[in-house]
Structure 1
Amino acid sequence: MEKEDEDMRNKHQLVWGMILFVSIAVLIGSSIWLFLFAKSAEPVVYNQGYYNSGMMGGRVNSNQNQNSGNEKLTPDQILSDVENYLKGYGNNLQVADIFVFKDADYYVSVEEKDTGTGAMEILVNPYTGQIYPEPGPNMRWNEKYSMMMGGSFRYNANATYTAKVKQTEAVKIADDFVKNQLGEGYSVPGEGHAFYGYYTFYIKKDDKVIGMLSVNGLTGKVWYRDWHGELEQVISEH
């Protein structure tokens, strides 16, 4: 009888030992997978003319299968939709600029009314009016307003931020970048927006706005927006 009890205890110990071993193996495997996935999801971040490859790239279009027979919403309709959207976050946000692109979602910069500081950058589907946060600096570098994909919003009213890179320095960094990477015919004027954590500037060629990029206000890293496509019109609201 005692031998049977001992055999039973040994079997239980063996079973629990196997369960523990499998659990540890699964935990280690999951940790390795998450680490590799996080590394592969690093964005394209340019550092004063040098860049690392990543997953970011291509046109941002939230409805690529849109029926071309449908008409686009007008800029006024887009503005109205965005203003209604911003009401959900209080009364201190307003549209600064709308970038109308030929074959991609429209870009909208949003600023605070009381400070004039950029708050967030959003994209709008020109056919459906769907509004969602722009990927890139808006989601990775924003120190006060953080917008995560899917439309969720996190706002830290008590956030404190002091730029280490002044706007004049950021303009030079951005201008040097476009001249080195795109050519001498490109330039970055001082026009743009200072956000909580970074600056966003317009890129010009032949005195026309052809795109944009951002400069991190703490590190000076440059993030070139290569996913918008051909720009048709810029509408400045404020």
Structure 2
Amino acid sequence: MRTAKELWVPLIALLAMLGSGIWLVTQDEDDDRGFGPWGGTGMPMMGGPAESGWLAGDRDPVDDLAEARDRADDFAKELGPELRVGEVMRFANNYYAELEETDGDKATEVLINPSTGAVQLEFGPAMMWNTRYGMMARPGTRARLSAEQARDVAQAWADDHGGLAVDEPEAFPGYFTLHTLEGDRIEGMLSVNAVTGAVWYHSWHGEFEEMSEGE
């Protein structure tokens, strides 16, 4: 039987997906834009990372970025032997890490539980939109938005939500992720679906604390 701490990820996942603010941007052939709600849910299942996007923790607290990187690396080796860990970030609620292919292309995003060391595919876009590593993977899906268009969509969302700015997009299979900024400081992040233009703000992280780039 799993302890309360070990249930952290699925419980937070459900709350985050219910509470996330999400836009849908649909684009017709004339590039007109309409806006409406979009949503989705997804929770980790039993099994290893390749089957469920989940790596159980050892109940050893993760104290810093280096330890978070080690845990993410353990997950990466199980998910795909050629994957490596790129950027790692620490937030008030969790650690976040990007996994990359050997050529530097972004593969997916993961969360590390600071209390138990459990690692999982990040809920939201990494689970629901990632066309290669997500729970609804659709290999061969073609993006309709360029990185520049995704940035424009993200900035339009940010303008309507507190006047935030957005950083440069990072392309993952099926979507883009961007840091949101208050001045020069990272405030959080959001993702833009590369096919539909939907915007999904990562509301589960809490306040940004620190980060390290890929090794």
State the TM-score, normalizing by the size of structure 2. 0.71
The secondary structure found in structure 2 opposite 1:145 is coil
1:189 is matched with 167
Once the 2 structures are TM-superposed, how far is the Cα of residue 161 of structure 1 from its aligned partner? 3.3
SS in 2 for 1:202: strand
Q: Is the 8 A contact 1:101 1:232 kept in 2?
A: yes
SS at match of 1:177: helix
Q: Is the 8 A contact 1:187 1:204 kept in 2?
A: yes
Q: Which residue of 1 aligns with 2:95?
A: 106
Identity %: 32
- Whether the 8 Å contact between 2:73 and 2:84 is mirrored in structure 1 is yes
Runs of 4+ in structure 1 deviating by more than 4 angstroms, as ranges, are 40-44, 48-51, 53-56
Q: Distance in 2 between the 1:42 and 1:71 partners?
A: 27
In 2, distance between residues paired with 1:196 and 1:139?
11
**Contact 1:44–1:53 (CA under 8 A) maintained in structure 2:** no
Which structure is richer in relative contact order (CA contacts within 8 A, separation 6 or more)?
A: 2
Alignment of 1:84-99 (within 5 A): 84-99=74-89
The number of aligned residues is 173
Structure 2 SS opposite 1:215: strand
Instruction: Kindly provide the CA deviation profile for residues 105-150 of structure 1, in whole angstroms up to 9, marking residues without a partner as x.
Output: 1111112112x32211111011221111211111111111124xxx
Deviation at 1:87, TM superposition (A): 1.3
SS in 1 for 2:195: coil
Aligned residues: CA RMSD:
2.8
**Judging changes above 3 Å, is the alpha-carbon distance between structure 1 residues 132 and 212 closer, same or farther for their aligned structure 2 residues?**
same
Instruction: Return the letter of the residue paired with 2:84.
Output: Q
C-alpha deviation, 1:155, in angstroms: 7.2
Please state if 1:142 is matched with 2:120.
Answer: no
Query: How far apart, CA to CA, are the structure 1 residues paired with 2:145 and 2:39?
Result: 25
Could you tell me how far apart the structure 2 residues matched to 1:41 and 1:211 are?
18
Contact conserved, 2:61 with 2:116, CA < 8 A, in 1?
Answer: no
Q: 1:71 to 1:164 in 2, by over 3 A?
A: closer
User: Is 1:226–2:203 an aligned residue pair?
Assistant: yes
Kindly tell me: are residues 53 and 89 of structure 1, through their superposed partners in 2, closer, same or farther at Cα, counting changes over 3 Å? closer
Larger Rg: 1
Give the AA of the match of 2:202. Answer: R
Amino acid at match of 1:218: V
**Aligned mates of 2:165, 2:116 — CA distance in 1:** 34
Tell me how far apart the structure 2 counterparts of residues 73 and 206 of structure 1 sit (CA, whole Å). Answer: 28
Contact 1:96 1:110 in 2 (8 A): yes
After superposition, the Cα gap between the structure-2 partners of 1:99 and 1:50, relative to the gap in structure 1 and judged at 3 Å, is farther
- 8 Å CA contact 1:174–1:222 kept in 2: the answer is yes
Q: Which residue of the partner structure matches residue 156 of structure 2? A: 176
CA distance in 2, matches of 1:90, 1:227: 26
Amino acid aligned to 1:133: L
Unpaired runs of at least 5, structure 2: 1-16, 26-33, 42-59
Residue type of the alignment partner of 1:109: E
The alpha-carbon distance between structure 1 residues 233 and 43, as it changes in their structure 2 partners (threshold 3 A), is closer
